[in-house]
Structure 1
Amino acid sequence: MTQDAATATAAAAVADPVGPAPDGPEGAPRGLGVSVPADGLRAKTEGTFPYASDLWAEGLLWAAVLRSPHAHARILSVDTTAAARMPGVRAVVTHADVPGATTHGRRFADRPVFAHEVVRHHGEPIAAVAADHPDTARLAAAAITVEYELLDAVTDPEQSFGAPPLHPDGNLIRHIPLAFGDPEATGEVVVEGLYRIGRQDPAPIGAEAGLAVPRPDGGVEIYTASTDPHTDRDLAAACFGLEPERVKVVVTGVPGATGDREDAGFQLPLGLLALRTGCPVKLAATREESFLGHAHRHPTLLRYRHHADAEGRLVKVEAQILMDAGPYADSSSESLAAAVAFACGPYVVPHAFVEGWAVRTNNPPSGHVRGEGALQVCAAYEGQMDKLAARLGLDGAELRLRNVLATGDLLPTGQTVTCPAPVAELLRAVRDFELPGLPKDSPEEDWLLPGGPEGAGEPSAVRRGVGYGVGMVHMLGAEGTDEVSTATVKVHDGTATVICAAVDTGQGFATLARQVVQEVLGIDEVFVAPVDTDQPPAGPAGHGRHTWVSAGAVERAAKMVRTQLLQPMAHKLGMSTELLRIEDGRVTSYDGAFSTTVAEAVAGKELWATAQCRPHPTEPLDAAGQGDAFVGLAFCAIRAVVDVDVELGAVRVVELAVAQDVGRVLNPAQLAARIEAGVTQGVGAALTENLRTGGGLVRHPDLTGYVLPTALDAPDIRIVKLVEERDVVAPFGAKAASAVPVVTAPAAVASAVRAATGRPVNRLPIRPSAAVAVPVPLPPPVATPQG
């Protein structure tokens, strides 16, 4: 089989261009503000959606990767002889076989393609094998002999400062000392706290998979579920020793992402093996490999001291933030910047002094996971607000309302909040929402109690708690990141096609792009082309980028096509194009004298336009942590209601009431789904999700030991208010929707558990021991199951 034929076979597994909502009835509403069904929904629910693990090409080989069983060790030798001699093995590659750059990284090139002198974390790749059967590949990888000299693993980030260098670049990745206001300022009331946040895994439902196909020109095509294909192409080309034009990344079968979907170190061995063998090579990671390879949320240690006056108004916040980056930099610099900048939360703080560090350890790698940096500090500063409220005898919501941020206020970075910041409105909405009823002491509703109907606890030990969380995130990249996206809109004989390299990771970009074109051009038949690196770059998914810059580029291109369409008609009528409008599938003049259908207007025409969207620039934080580092901000308030068995420490989240600052609702059903999913991910961070390690070794790299919340664990989520105050600098006025409920929900759940138990709850996820009430007579309960 020729390589061209193999490429065509692989391409056939790529999802077809997205067409007009097959799930919706004929004549269903179109355009912005309408609940258009998500693209690909039917295929995913019916099990026909082609994921990356479904890829196939005739004559393909199977790959397997040998990974380190140690967290920190010196490699004395690697012997691949036995593996290479096994029948069916076609190639074995190690560090010595990398023809180009031997290190890579999306932000800093500090991670080796294959470890060759030192392994720095459990599961680090050492070699890869291609064979004619997946079992042969795995057996061959296991046959590679590696001689190690075990080294002491640095697993405590506090010890990293004094430990020998774990990396040639040193152990400190970034230090940010933020100084804002008067360091001598003090308050009448001072509370302190120490908080620890665990290691949450993005836990994609589909593990990493891909197919690499060599090209006749000596290049390679990689078919995989990338979320940032152009960056992946560039770093792959550098490692392969090729020009970027000879490496093509085709995005296929993205099952959803809440962070960096792909471990680039997974794609590189795949491409190297295809180039070495001259055959298509497929690699499908096991769940264990997925856990060991990709980045996780940064475990973080936070020390806080809050000063307030006698009325509860904040005077000064002092904080120290220590983030565990694992052995490589990845996105740690950006995560730390977000943590330091948002360390005081969406509150007015006249004086703030925050020091943040991101350091290397031999723990699993950390990186971009939804709400990075912001989630960790939200849990801590909201814990401090609960302490202040208790010290002052104030209701938690009332204390927060006395301090909330508003448009025109200053962040501790010195940046003025210019976007809508309706924090008080959000908090009042959840505070005033009706509380849920109490579970009855009846067999039919016993399952509502913590532990379920077979739980060992007594209903009389159950206490109900109500708590609050208020969170914030930044949108788009920060600190001078050049945010730009390019899109092309083509119209041919009544059908529109959108070409944009923005990957839909579940945030709904493909659906939104279709809605935008329908809104601007009035064309129902809109297709969104599959993504590959032959298209201009659109940047990575995350931080609401594609809703802002990519959909903004689609809108601009569609408006340019609209002008091309209307100009001939306007010229005939002797008027400007502004006096013609497209509405309800018709082109109509301002006076109603002229009217025709859009279908008639575009029939037989070929129109196209390409446009870019680039928001206003930002700047890096300076030596004092000051600077206009963020393009925009989004806010959320959540009230959590929990039932806690104070004898067993079992927690059941009864309800989460959510109010969110969304700018503009572009697709009501899709927005609600994104908020509910974000809240549920936050509940996982609060109660169950923690990738535990011992000596740097992952103890349970599987979905049995790593506990994800299921449908049975998801609480009632009430979206009580969506504030549509449009951000004038954002296309459509919309804000990022997914990250801020993830950030806020863990803080709200912890606040509610504090209210139920009287315990400080300073660690996430919340351990059962932290939810057991203090061994003194309990105060009268706020509510009991018998109530």
Structure 2
Amino acid sequence: MTGIDTRPGGGVGTERGIGASASRPDGVLKVTGEFAYASDLWLDDMVWGATLRSPHPAARIRAIDVGPALAMPGVLAALTHHDVPGTKFYGLERADQPVLAMEQVRYQGEPVAIVAADHPERARRAAAAIKVDYEVVEAVTDPWRAAFDPDCPKVHPQGNVVRHQPVRVGSVFEAPVVVRGEYEVGMQDQAFLGPESGLAVPAADGGVDLYIATQWLHVDRDQIAPCLGLPPEKVRLTLAGVGGAFGAREDLSMQIHACMLALRTGRPVKMVYGRRESFFGHVHRHPARMRYEHGATRDGRLVYVKAEILLDGGAYCSSTPAVVGNAASLGVGPYEVANVAVDVYGVYTNNPPCGAMRGFGAVQACFAYESQMDRLAQACGLSPVEVRRRNAVSQGSRLITGQVIDSPAPLAAMLTRLEALPLPQRRADDQRDLPGGVSQTTRGEGVRRGVGYGVGIKNICFSEGFDDYSTARVRVELAGGEPHVLVHTAAAEVGQGLVTVQAQIARTELGIDRVTVAPADTSVGSAGSSSASRQSYMTGGAVKAACEAVRERLAELSAEHPGLSLAELLEVTGPIEETREFRHRPTYPMDPLTGQGDSHVQLALCVHRAVVDVDVELGLVKVVELAAVQDVGRILNPQALEGQIHGGSAQGLGLALMEEIQVAGGVVRNPSFTDYLIPTILDVPPMPLTILENPDPAAPYGLRGAGEPPTLSSTPAIVAAIRDATGRPLSRVPVRPHDLVVLDAVSA
């Protein structure tokens, strides 16, 4: 072939394309501390915004006096709900959250007023000087009461149940072997390291430019614009450096507030939350109470599952309806069962708002159904692996919603491979290897080892009929006399390596090594949210489609100008640019009465084996190893993929052992990393990985979203291992030290 090779990957430089561990363009900057995060934004004439928040979880507001703040030198504005120029409410799924509290506050930390001043400390002092007359009222903090007590006060006028989703299949609810359990999952924080921050700049056209750390630029814009009384085209968002997200940046935090202050003062306004304020400024993982009953034959084959899952959504809706849908549709896990009665409730309370967090809805259910599978194994005299293998789904199986799994799902084989991995050798010669490390006081006399397994199934992309799509613009041009590709999307790089993957796709499809990924902003069509493990699938699919369109155009031009190299052709034609939207196959809402429906795009499986050492005298745990087998369909970037699986596993470890926001009477007791514990490098064990590639024919490159599934299965695997070591039932996470102490060991 003479001229240009327009086949996929037919050019040069594809050694950094799909399948390679291409380096991240932000990697060196981040490890050297030079990366510009949203909290580093600066303009010479900017002022600082601060927020006054409610100290009460439930109260009526009788009066607000901003006079003391405005009287302070350097204060440029002090605003309340009266100053909201447009719609006074916003929300991710329902517009039920006020921009600033109006007649009442519904959770501790709810924004009541905002100020702008010429120094951040002056802004904070001005906010504190605002006088608010509160009438404290009864707080609804028990989700069971909120859902089922008819005499319970209503957090919102429409009632306390945000969504109830039943799933009904079959009619046989008797079996020779029955196991029951009640389980709880605490409120986990996303614990990203970069707090909420952004810079709003008033524009000459009366609009505003917002530079913001977020997960979803266009949905932010579509909530902000009505509240500012502006058309969407006058609210322009550009992604600033994001220091982690994990779901907490799907909801708005300071976006509208900064824009209001910028438009009022005519000056750029920067807002940056401190760590304590961040705990009140974003949603958390829904805490859950769950009741399960599994019935099986004597040889361990499931006959039926009954379940009731109660999710505390806190004061506002956020993504509670989607979390309920996930918990319901995936509520019995990746197991074949013909008879199901599942009920999932998401409710309003006066506790902190809860929403998206890695694996949302599926994480809570997974802890319960996997704990049940261990109980069933014990009741039937089977190993934990064998009981799972006998009930495992495979390609062609149906979920409890009736949806057929139409791509590879080799769960039984994954379990077999995991079980066959060699176990770590016990080392007792070094005190650092014991639970508690060098702070050990008993020299390990009470240390016992346990092994446990966990299996998780997670939906990929958005579900239940959501119009999920992504847009990409790809431009091929000459730069310095050589072909160059510019990729432009609105997809948020939140640390997962998406920028790298977009460049890899462009290199693979166009065969051009020099690729630049433009900063994400709203000047290009929506790319959806960086959540639900969807961006490689959706934005990757959009970049691939746009590259294919460019390649087709190049082929046409090459035929018109035969014998020219690509550089020579571009010299003649000028830049070639194409924009494409990518949509996955349609999904459908779950039936509100039966839960039936093809609600998901894709499903992903991960299985974990945990090995732990537990000091039953001191209540200390050391996770010795956390091995995983995961099917990813197709590996796009091996190094980045391993990081995603390791990171998801570590967050599951945190939920199992240490992470919980302590809430008493609606009041958060531990809003700091001093008292809210997250795993450090000393807590994270070796994580051997077996990564399988069984392509999904419906997905770009056959890939399968990979970031969330390990968060599901790591938690129950660790808790199962602790049960194995201690013999304690352990029906709640995180496991606490006093849950682990074995009295006979202490007395001995």
Q: Which TM-score band (shorter chain)?
A: over 0.9
1:537-552 pair list within 5 angstroms: 537-552=526-541
User: Would you say the 8 A contact 1:422–1:723 is kept in 2?
Assistant: no
Deviation at 1:293, TM superposition (A): 1.2
1:11 match: none
Query: CA, structure 1 residues 458+394, in 2 after alignment: closer, same or farther (shift >3 Å)?
Result: farther
Opposite residue 637 of structure 1, the aligned amino acid is V
2:53 match: 67
1:490 match: 475
Is residue 517 from structure 1 mapped to residue 517 from structure 2 by the alignment?
Answer: no
Is residue 175 from structure 1 mapped to residue 144 from structure 2 by the alignment?
Answer: no
2:83 match: 97
1:625 match: 595
Is residue 758 from structure 1 mapped to residue 727 from structure 2 by the alignment?
Answer: yes
Opposite residue 728 of structure 1, the aligned amino acid is P
Select the residue among 620, 628, 631 that pairs with 1:650.
620
1:215 match: 203
User: Would you say the 8 A contact 1:523–1:598 is kept in 2?
Assistant: no
1:185 match: 173
Select the residue among 237, 259, 269 that pairs with 2:247.
259
1:275 match: 263
Deviation at 1:401, TM superposition (A): 0.6
Query: CA, structure 1 residues 76+572, in 2 after alignment: closer, same or farther (shift >3 Å)?
Result: closer
Opposite residue 671 of structure 1, the aligned amino acid is L
2:695 match: 726
State the TM-score, normalizing by the size of structure 1.
0.90
Opposite residue 302 of structure 1, the aligned amino acid is M
1:499 match: 488
CA distance in structure 2 between the aligned counterparts of 1:165 and 1:320, rounded to whole angstroms: 22
CA distance in structure 1 between the aligned counterparts of 2:747 and 2:362, rounded to whole angstroms: 34
1:139 match: 125
Deviations 1:547-593 (A, max 9, x none): 111111111111111122223444677xxxxxxxxxxxxxxxxxxxx
Query: CA, structure 1 residues 379+753, in 2 after alignment: closer, same or farther (shift >3 Å)?
Result: same
What percentage of residue pairs aligned between the two structures are identical?
46
Is residue 116 from structure 1 mapped to residue 117 from structure 2 by the alignment?
Answer: no
1:87 match: 73
Residues 447-456 or 95-104, more deviating: 447-456
Q: RMSD value over aligned CA atoms?
A: 1.7
Q: Give the match's secondary structure for 1:402.
A: helix
1:365-404 pair list within 5 angstroms: 365-404=353-392
User: Would you say the 8 A contact 1:39–1:508 is kept in 2?
Assistant: no
2:301 match: 313
CA distance in structure 2 between the aligned counterparts of 1:311 and 1:186, rounded to whole angstroms: 15
2:462 match: 477
Select the residue among 272, 294, 310 that pairs with 1:284.
272
2:141 match: 155
1:707 match: 677
1:738 match: 707
Residues 618-627 or 561-570, more deviating: 561-570
Unpaired runs of at least 5, structure 1: 1-25, 574-593, 780-787
Deviation at 1:388, TM superposition (A): 0.9
1:391-430 pair list within 5 angstroms: 391-430=379-418
Deviation at 1:772, TM superposition (A): 2.2
State the TM-score, normalizing by the size of structure 2.
0.95
Q: Give the match's secondary structure for 2:606.
A: strand
Query: CA, structure 1 residues 180+733, in 2 after alignment: closer, same or farther (shift >3 Å)?
Result: same
1:588 match: none
2:9 match: none
2:237 match: 249
CA distance in structure 1 between the aligned counterparts of 2:518 and 2:220, rounded to whole angstroms: 20
Query: CA, structure 1 residues 778+661, in 2 after alignment: closer, same or farther (shift >3 Å)?
Result: farther
Q: Give the match's secondary structure for 2:311.
A: strand
1:289-300 pair list within 5 angstroms: 289-300=277-288
1:45-60 pair list within 5 angstroms: 45-60=31-46
Deviations 1:343-370 (A, max 9, x none): 1101111111001100111111100001
1:613 match: 582
Opposite residue 649 of structure 1, the aligned amino acid is G
1:232 match: 220
Query: CA, structure 1 residues 381+748, in 2 after alignment: closer, same or farther (shift >3 Å)?
Result: same
Select the residue among 444, 452, 477 that pairs with 1:459.
444
CA distance in structure 1 between the aligned counterparts of 2:442 and 2:686, rounded to whole angstroms: 23
Deviations 1:621-677 (A, max 9, x none): 112111110011000000000000112221110001100010000111110111111
Query: CA, structure 1 residues 83+606, in 2 after alignment: closer, same or farther (shift >3 Å)?
Result: same
Is residue 535 from structure 1 mapped to residue 524 from structure 2 by the alignment?
Answer: yes
Opposite residue 65 of structure 1, the aligned amino acid is T
2:6 match: none
1:4 match: none
Deviation at 1:99, TM superposition (A): 1.3
1:448 match: 433
Q: Give the match's secondary structure for 2:30.
A: helix
Unpaired runs of at least 5, structure 2: 1-11
Deviations 1:89-109 (A, max 9, x none): 110000111111111101110
Q: Give the match's secondary structure for 1:534.
A: coil
User: Would you say the 8 A contact 1:303–1:319 is kept in 2?
Assistant: yes
Select the residue among 589, 602, 609 that pairs with 1:639.
609
Deviations 1:673-713 (A, max 9, x none): 11111111110111010011111111111111110101111
CA distance in structure 2 between the aligned counterparts of 1:772 and 1:180, rounded to whole angstroms: 41
User: Would you say the 8 A contact 1:270–1:282 is kept in 2?
Assistant: yes
Q: Give the match's secondary structure for 2:459.
A: strand
Is residue 34 from structure 1 mapped to residue 23 from structure 2 by the alignment?
Answer: no
Is residue 206 from structure 1 mapped to residue 201 from structure 2 by the alignment?
Answer: no
Is residue 659 from structure 1 mapped to residue 629 from structure 2 by the alignment?
Answer: yes
User: Would you say the 8 A contact 2:324–2:346 is kept in 1?
Assistant: yes
Deviation at 1:223, TM superposition (A): 0.8
Opposite residue 768 of structure 1, the aligned amino acid is P
Deviations 1:406-463 (A, max 9, x none): 11111111111112211112111111100000012x2xx1111111122123422111
Count of matched residue positions in the alignment of Structure 1 and Structure 2:
728
User: Would you say the 8 A contact 2:248–2:284 is kept in 1?
Assistant: no
Q: Give the match's secondary structure for 1:716.
A: coil
Select the residue among 646, 654, 657 that pairs with 1:676.
646
Opposite residue 610 of structure 1, the aligned amino acid is T
User: Would you say the 8 A contact 2:506–2:515 is kept in 1?
Assistant: yes
Opposite residue 384 of structure 1, the aligned amino acid is Q
2:325 match: 337
Deviations 1:361-419 (A, max 9, x none): 11111000010011111100110011111112211111111110111111111111112
Opposite residue 391 of structure 1, the aligned amino acid is A
User: Would you say the 8 A contact 2:617–2:745 is kept in 1?
Assistant: no
Deviation at 1:768, TM superposition (A): 1.3
Opposite residue 702 of structure 1, the aligned amino acid is S
User: Would you say the 8 A contact 1:113–1:265 is kept in 2?
Assistant: no
Q: Give the match's secondary structure for 2:355.
A: coil
1:19 match: none
CA distance in structure 2 between the aligned counterparts of 1:55 and 1:568, rounded to whole angstroms: 44
CA distance in structure 1 between the aligned counterparts of 2:594 and 2:304, rounded to whole angstroms: 16
Deviation at 1:39, TM superposition (A): 2.5
User: Would you say the 8 A contact 1:225–1:262 is kept in 2?
Assistant: no
User: Would you say the 8 A contact 2:13–2:507 is kept in 1?
Assistant: no
Q: Give the match's secondary structure for 2:715.
A: helix
Opposite residue 342 of structure 2, the aligned amino acid is V
